[in-house]
Every structure is written in C-alpha cells, then in structure tokens.
C-alpha cells in the first residue's frame, strides 16, 4: 500500500509524463513540412504547418523572421533553398517573441547563416538563456540559447537594402513581444504588412503575478496600440491566426491575392481582446473569493 506522499509523487510523475506526451504530439503536428511560397512582393513563407517563418529578400541579402522549434531549423533551411535562395545570404534574424516554438531554431539558423540576431531587450534575456529565464515557467520549453547581437527598442528600424522593418513593442504575451511592420510593393501598389507578435493568454496568471506584476496593463496597452496601426496584410507566428492554409490554397488557384485583407487584423484583435477580458475577469473574480 503506497503512502499518501508516495501516491502524490506518483500522480506528479504521471501528470508530467502525460504533459510531455501531449507536448510531443503537438510539436510533431505543428512541425510538418509545408512547401514554401511567395506571399506578396518580396515576402515568402518558409515555415512549417503550425509555426511560421518568413523570408524577406533583397539584392543585398535576406531577413528571416522566427525560427520555429529547434527541430524546425533544417526545414526552414530546406524551404529557403527550394525557393532558390541561400541560407548563407540571410543577413538578419528577427524574432516575434522568445518562446521555444518561435525562438527554438534561432541558434542553429544563426550558425548556418552567420546572420545578425536582433531582438528586444526583454526577450533577448530569454533567448540568451534558452528559455530558462521567463515568467511563464512552462515545462519542456527550453531551447538552444542564441546570442543576440543587437537590442532593438520600440520604434527603431532594421534596414537591409531598400527594405525597412519597424519594431513595435507589444508586451503581454512575452515581456518583449515585438510586432514588426513594413511596406511592401506588389503589382505597382504599396501595402502595409504587419508581422504580429501575439496577444493570446495561454494559461498565464493575469492577477497578482509576482514575476510580471504589470502583465494585465501591458496587454491592455498593447491592444490599444495595435488598433492604431494600418494593416493590409496580416501575418503572425501561428498560421491559424491568419488562415494560412486556406489562403495558400486560394493563392495557388490564381486571382486576387487572398493575403490582402485590410479588415482582417482588426477583426482578429476584437476576438483576441474579448478572450483576454473574459480571462482577466474570471481571474479577478477568483482572487476575490
């Protein structure tokens, strides 16, 4: 007969095993290969099924945004090559936010390309720790640490050739969550592209969080700020956020570019803010009990 302490320990072990199994299945599902393709102008999709990666090309070299899981890096390299480009010509590496499913492949991609890693100050701490320093405390979320070569502040820009991306700090999902914006010209017209970070609340403590006291107010300021920016082309760290699969299928058939949709981003923000406010009110109610 197991003691109560032993029973509790066994439950913890079993729970950890189930979490690891679920995490492993999710990673596998999200890391399925996707043929690379041009989204608009000089922006290409080089990511996988569940986590995105974008290549912005210039004659002076290329910019790569997000690196997926650690195991995604070889697939990104393969996708870049399939488009006729070289990983060695990637001069700049950017990150939307320092989670293992978006920053996990950065160390390997930096090694392969020799590119300059650029990130916000708050997320650089997490990237350089390999996820070991973060407020979330997720299990199984560590990844290969990557050295950040340049810290970028809110409103600063990254320029390569005639391409200029602007960093907007939109904290909440991570302390240094960075939304990147750029203009792109396609068929003689210029469009506002937004590489959104995230505003989801994946089990976060929003009330009385000792590791991130201002988390709720950061989310609220982020929603307000994101509503102020124009967006014709909405891109994001997970394909499901912007209906990647459906748009890719429609794009393959020709006709109007389905990625151009000026109403989509703000509709997404409406839904996301409702989810955030619902979770915040629930946690505030629980805290008063």
Distance CA 73, CA 93 (A): 12
User: DSSP state, 260?
Assistant: B
Is-contact 20 33, C-beta < 8 A?
no
Q: Are strands 150-152 and 116-120 parallel, antiparallel or unpaired?
A: parallel
Q: Please identify every residue annotated as catalytic.
A: 97, 99, 101-102, 173, 204, 238
Query: Using N-to-C axis directions, what is the helix angle for 106-113 and 73-82, rounded to 10°?
Result: 40
Is-contact 87 108, C-beta < 8 A?
no
**Long-range Cβ contact pairs of 201-206 (< 8 A, separation 24 or more):** 201/173, 201/275, 201/276, 201/279, 204/136, 205/283, 206/279, 206/280, 206/283
Phi, psi (degrees; rounded to nearest 5) at 284: -65, -40
Is-contact 235 268, C-beta < 8 A?
no
Q: Classify the phi-psi angles of 56: left when phi > 0, otherwise alpha if psi is within -120 to 50, otherwise beta.
A: beta
End-to-end CA distance of the chain: 37
Tokens of 154: 């809110």
Distance CA 90, CA 22 (A): 34
Distance CA 60, CA 90 (A): 9
């Amino acid at each position: 007969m197991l003691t109560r302490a032993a029973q509790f320990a066994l439950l913890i072990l079993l729970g950890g095993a189930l979490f690891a199994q679920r995490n492993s299945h999710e990673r596998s599902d999200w890391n399925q290969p996707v043929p690379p393709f041009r989204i608009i102008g000089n922006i290409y999709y080089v990511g996988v099924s569940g986590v995105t990666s974008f290549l912005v090309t210039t004659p002076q070299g290329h910019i790569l945004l997000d690196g997926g899981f650690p195991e995604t890096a070889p697939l990104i390299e393969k996708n870049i090559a399939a488009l006729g480009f070289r990983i060695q010509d990637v001069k700049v590496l950017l990150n939307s936010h320092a989670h293992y499913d978006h920053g996990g492949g950065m160390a390997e991609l930096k090694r392969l390309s020799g590119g300059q890693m650029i990130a916000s100050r708050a997320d650089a701490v997490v990237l350089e720790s390999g996820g070991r320093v973060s407020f979330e405390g997720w299990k199984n979320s560590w990844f290969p640490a990557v050295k950040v070569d340049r810290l970028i502040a809110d409103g600063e820009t990254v320029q390569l050739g005639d391409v200029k991306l602007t960093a907007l700090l939109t904290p909440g999902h991570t302390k240094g969550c960075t939304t990147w914006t750029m203009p792109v010209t396609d068929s003689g017209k210029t469009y506002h592209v937004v590489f959104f970070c995230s505003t989801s609340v994946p089990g976060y403590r929003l009330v009385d969080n000792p590791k991130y006291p201002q988390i709720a107010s950061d989310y609220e300021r982020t929603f307000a700020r994101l509503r102020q920016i124009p967006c014709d082309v909405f891109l994001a760290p997970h394909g499901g956020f912007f209906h990647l699969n459906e748009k890719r299928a429609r794009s393959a058939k020709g006709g109007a570019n389905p990625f151009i949709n000026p109403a989509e981003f703000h509709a997404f923000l409406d839904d996301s803010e409702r989810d955030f406010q619902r979770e915040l009110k629930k946690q505030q109610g629980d805290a008063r009990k």
